[in-house]
Amino acid sequence: MRRLIWTCLLLFIAGAVVSSFTAEAQRNAEAAQRLPIIYWAQGVETASVLKQAGIEQIAALPDKADEWRKAGFNVIALSQQELEHREKLFVPRTAGRADVASATRRPWIDSNGWRFVRNPVSKFYYDLTGKGAGKVLLASAEAFSYRADAILKIDPADVAEFGKMLAFLRTLPLSNLPPVADIGLIDEGSPATGEVMNLLTRRNLLFKLVPAPAPQFRVNIQLGSKEYPLAEAADPNAFAQKVRQQLGDENRSLRIYGTEVVIGRLTSDGARVQLHLLNYSGRDVDSLRVRLRGKYGKGELKAFEVEAGLEDFVVADGATEFTISKMGVYAMIELPAVK
């Protein structure tokens, strides 16, 4: 009888584990296919505008969903209330904030990467109307880079821009590789920890959320611990700098030179890396230099709306460096790992 109970218990646990893995695999598979979606409240009479922009999927008001479907669109029915029930994201951009300005000429950046990392299964939305107009390219690239479930409420004047980005994103690999991280972070959900995550993201200090200090990371952060007192988080910029020094620049998986307005997301499955670069400045950046820890072969660069290549490619001392001759709002690089 006891053996039967144990067997049942083991089968239950195994089933739960398999189920958990299956659910995660399912989520990853869905995320991999995920492209940004716009919220379109207008009627089907505007279908030609969307079709001209190459848009095939929208979120539409429930009472208009069917007519949009009949017009050949993939539709998520979504009321205004349901949209606003989603977590609202920042309008991605550089912003002047005198109170936190740094004389190192580093502008303040409103980015959402850390929020996607914090809540990977959450549903988000951007309001890119009004003052958010004109930021649809960056927002859609940002959501795509993190494979976030994000809906973009856009200014109708930005439809063509969105369509261009969508067409570009369709040319990219739709794989969702595991993120690369150098830092473990225990997130208890506080705003203070959120701000630390924001600053780590902002400074390209790659972190992963862990339930407890993880031995594979040189640095594990738990706000409120002896090493990371809560008071230190009052200055998240200084906090991020402390973490950076503890990690050591030479141990960072990703470094970006030549700009302070580009944020990278690095993912890898061991056989290859994918680097997503998001330029928050609103203008092109010339000759961005990237250093990746690890040895990689020459791969492919795809940059949105600019002619660019990987130049001055060097592999040595356990690192790979290359220059992106020019980048606009977004670029993605895929490199194969080499022994």
Partner 1 sequence: MKRRTFVQLLAASPLASPLTCGEAEAADAPKYRAVSRYKPAATPGMPGPYPGRVIAVKSAKCLDDTGDHADPAVVREMMERGIRALTGEASAIDAWRYFIKPDDVVGIKVNAGGQPYVVSSPEVVAETVRNLMAVGVKPAQIYVYERFQSQLDDINYAPHLPEGVTIFAAELGNRGVDNNRYDPLTYVEADFFGEDDTRSNMIRLISEKLTKIINIPNMKDHGATGVTGCLKNIAYGSFSNVARTHYNGASHTLSFVGTLAAVEPLRSRTVLQIMDGLRGVWHGGPFAHTKKYMFYPKTIMFGTDPVAIDRLLLDIIENERKAHGAISVWERSEKYLKADDSRARDADPNVNIIIREPGHIEYAAKLGLGVHDLKKIRVQEIEV
Total residues interacting with partner 1, rule: CB under 8 A: 34
Buried b (16+ CB within 10 A) or exposed e, 233-244: beebeebbebbb
DSSP-assigned letters across all residues of 194-214: HHHHHHHHHTT--EEE-SS--
Bridge partner list, 221: 185
Is residue 307 close enough to count as binding partner 1 by CB under 8 A? no
Is residue 319 close enough to count as binding partner 1 by CB under 8 A? yes
Residue among 53 and 247 whose Cβ is closer to partner 1: 247
Residue among 156 and 294 whose Cβ is closer to partner 1: 294
Is residue 316 close enough to count as binding partner 1 by CB under 8 A? yes
260, 278, 304, 327: which one binds partner 1 (CB under 8 A): 260
Binding part of the chain for partner 1, among 32-40, 78-86, 166-174, 318-326 by CB under 8 A, reads 318-326
Binding part of the chain for partner 1, among 18-26, 153-161, 187-195, 287-295 by CB under 8 A, reads 287-295
Is residue 104 close enough to count as binding partner 1 by CB under 8 A? yes
Strand, coil or helix: 224: coil
Q: How far apart are CA 172 and CA 175, in angstroms?
A: 9
Q: How far apart are CA 263 and CA 201, in angstroms?
A: 7
Long-range pairs for 80-88: beta carbons < 8 A, 24 or more residues apart: 80/41, 83/39, 83/59, 83/125, 83/151, 83/153, 84/125, 86/122, 86/123, 86/124, 86/125, 86/151, 87/115, 87/119, 87/122, 87/123, 87/124, 87/125, 88/124, 88/125, 88/126, 88/127
Is residue 98 close enough to count as binding partner 1 by CB under 8 A? no
Confirm if 64 and 71 have CB atoms less than 8 A apart.
no
Confirm if 304 and 329 have CB atoms less than 8 A apart.
yes
Is residue 226 close enough to count as binding partner 1 by CB under 8 A? no
Half-sphere exposure of 330 (CA within 13 A, CB side): 24
Please report, in angstroms and rounded to a whole number, the separation of the first and last CA atoms in the chain: 53
118, 244, 265, 293: which one binds partner 1 (CB under 8 A): 244
Nearest distance from C-beta of residue 268 to partner 1, angstroms: 21
Residue among 151 and 273 whose Cβ is closer to partner 1: 273
Binding part of the chain for partner 1, among 54-62, 89-97, 152-160, 254-262 by CB under 8 A, reads 254-262
Is residue 310 close enough to count as binding partner 1 by CB under 8 A? no
43, 258, 297, 309: which one binds partner 1 (CB under 8 A): 258
Residue among 64 and 289 whose Cβ is closer to partner 1: 289
Q: Determine phi and psi for 85, rounding to 5 degrees.
A: -75, -20
Confirm if 337 and 314 have CB atoms less than 8 A apart.
no
30-69 residues in contact with partner 1 (CB under 8 A) are none
Residue among 58 and 288 whose Cβ is closer to partner 1: 288
155-214 residues in contact with partner 1 (CB under 8 A) are 203-204
Binding part of the chain for partner 1, among 15-23, 39-47, 77-85, 251-259 by CB under 8 A, reads 251-259
- Chain residues that interact with partner 1, rule: CB under 8 A: 103-106, 203-204, 237, 241, 244, 249, 256-260, 281, 283-289, 311-312, 314-317, 319, 321, 323, 325-326
